[in-house]
């Protein structure tokens, strides 16, 4: 038996940092959105657990296929919780850039929970999988359900929202990454940079006014990351000049995305505005996160 799962990435439409918690995490309020860009994971029955790089995808030098990878962490937690003796050979077709703020690692971990739940016939509900995912990463519960959702707590408390509909994105990531810990530490020293807007965007989405999306998008971490990596600010200014309706950083960065209803504009931004050596891609919003697909669909 083979199970294939598409693991979609995400962008943040808002990210409000509300303060530091007693457990060391930060309290956040966010609207998160799945995107069409995805990794693909294939699960096959085996005696033990093995993570294998699929040569159809990209393998960055820093991509670990060891115990630190979210895929193996998720698989081992499932084995521990269930006591199953079954194993799996897991093939990773890596397409999302790592350490970007696009949720690639979380999406892979979420897809592992979903895929092994089916392969091993564990019969966990989606809600139960989300609870398990919350012990592995703050973004992982969202990556299971995907679509458009409000996230609170440290990001693990998810409330579904109506899908915002089709928007086109041009996404850019510089060659170097940035430490999430460094960004949050720097934010603490600066204090809050703006008022929370998540509630305003949630109201707009629930009222069916998704066309006003760009008016309520913001990211408290953006100014911090931009101060460390000023080339991101320069790119943002160029993208806005070229006609993007909104340009914002996702998560703690360093990926930046331009949002537009115009597909041709998104294609033009990727073609004409990608700095030398940067990764870039056109994408669309997506109505769901993890999705079972066939081997034939994966080959397309």
| Alpha-carbon gap, residue 256 to 21, rounded angstroms | 27
- Catalytic-role residue among 108, 139, 173, 282: 139
- Catalytic-role residue among 10, 94, 246, 282: 10
Return the pLDDT at 60: 65
Burial class (CB in 10 A: 0-12, 13-18, 19+), 35: buried
Domain map (residue ranges) of the chain:
2-163+289-299, 168-284
Q: CA nearest 34: which of 127, 164, 130?
A: 164
- The answer to whether 35 and 169 are in contact (CB under 8 A) is yes
Per-residue pLDDT of the chain (300 residues), as tens digits, is 799 999 999 999 999 999 888 888 889 999 999 999 999 999 999 999 999 988 776 666 667 777 889 999 999 999 999 999 999 999 999 999 999 999 999 999 999 999 999 999 999 999 999 999 999 999 999 999 999 999 999 999 999 999 999 999 999 999 999 998 899 888 865 555 566 899 999 999 999 999 999 999 999 999 999 999 999 999 999 999 999 999 999 999 999 999 999 999 999 999 999 999 999 999 999 999 999 998 767 765
Return the pLDDT at 61: 61
Arch. (CATH architecture) of 2-163+289-299: 2-Layer Sandwich (3.30)
| Alpha-carbon gap, residue 232 to 136, rounded angstroms | 30
| Alpha-carbon gap, residue 249 to 232, rounded angstroms | 9
- The answer to whether 38 and 285 are in contact (CB under 8 A) is no
Q: Is 79 part of the annotated catalytic residue set?
A: no
- The answer to whether 159 and 261 are in contact (CB under 8 A) is no
* CA 204 vs CA 92, 216, 248, 284: distances in Å: 37, 9, 19, 20
The answer, as to whether pTM is greater than 0.75, is: yes
Arch. (CATH architecture) of 168-284: 2-Layer Sandwich (3.30)
Return the pLDDT at 138: 96
- The answer to whether 221 and 253 are in contact (CB under 8 A) is yes
Q: Is 181 part of the annotated catalytic residue set?
A: no
Return the pLDDT at 113: 99
Q: Are 2-163+289-299 and 168-284 the same fold in CATH?
A: no
| Alpha-carbon gap, residue 7 to 269, rounded angstroms | 25
Return the pLDDT at 21: 87
Length of the chain measured in residues: 300
């Amino acid at each position: 038996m083979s199970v294939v799962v598409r693991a979609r990435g995400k962008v943040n439409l808002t990210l409000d940092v509300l303060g530091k918690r007693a457990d060391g995490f930060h309290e956040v309020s966010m609207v998160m959105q799945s995107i069409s860009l995805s990794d693909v994971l294939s699960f096959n029955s085996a005696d033990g657990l093995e993570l294998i790089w699929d040569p159809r995808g990209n393998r960055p030098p820093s991509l670990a296929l060891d115990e630190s990878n979210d895929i193996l962490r998720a698989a081992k937690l499932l084995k521990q919780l269930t006591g199953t003796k079954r194993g799996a050979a897991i093939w990773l077709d890596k397409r999302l850039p790592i350490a970007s703020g696009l949720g690639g690692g979380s999406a892979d971990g979420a897809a592992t929970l979903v895929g092994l739940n089916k392969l091993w016939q564990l019969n966990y509900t989606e809600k139960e999988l989300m609870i398990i995912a919350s012990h592995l990463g703050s973004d992982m519960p969202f990556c299971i359900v995907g679509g458009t959702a409000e996230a609170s707590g440290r990001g693990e408390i998810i409330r579904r929202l109506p899908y915002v509909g089709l928007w086109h994105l041009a996404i850019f990531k510089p060659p170097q990454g940035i430490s999430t810990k460094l960004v949050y530490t720097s934010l603490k020293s600066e204090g809050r940079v703006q008022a929370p807007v998540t509630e305003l965007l949630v109201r707009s989405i629930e009222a069916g006014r998704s066309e006003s999306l760009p008016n309520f998008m913001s990211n408290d971490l953006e100014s911090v990351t931009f101060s460390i990596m000023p080339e991101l600010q320069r790119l943002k200014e160029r993208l806005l000049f070229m006609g993007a309706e909104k340009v914002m950083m996702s998560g703690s960065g360093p990926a930046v995305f331009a949002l537009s209803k115009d597909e041709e504009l998104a294609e033009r931004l990727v073609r004409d505005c990608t700095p030398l050596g940067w990764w870039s891609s056109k994408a669309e919003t997506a109505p769901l996160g993890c999705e079972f697909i066939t081997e034939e669909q994966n080959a397309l």
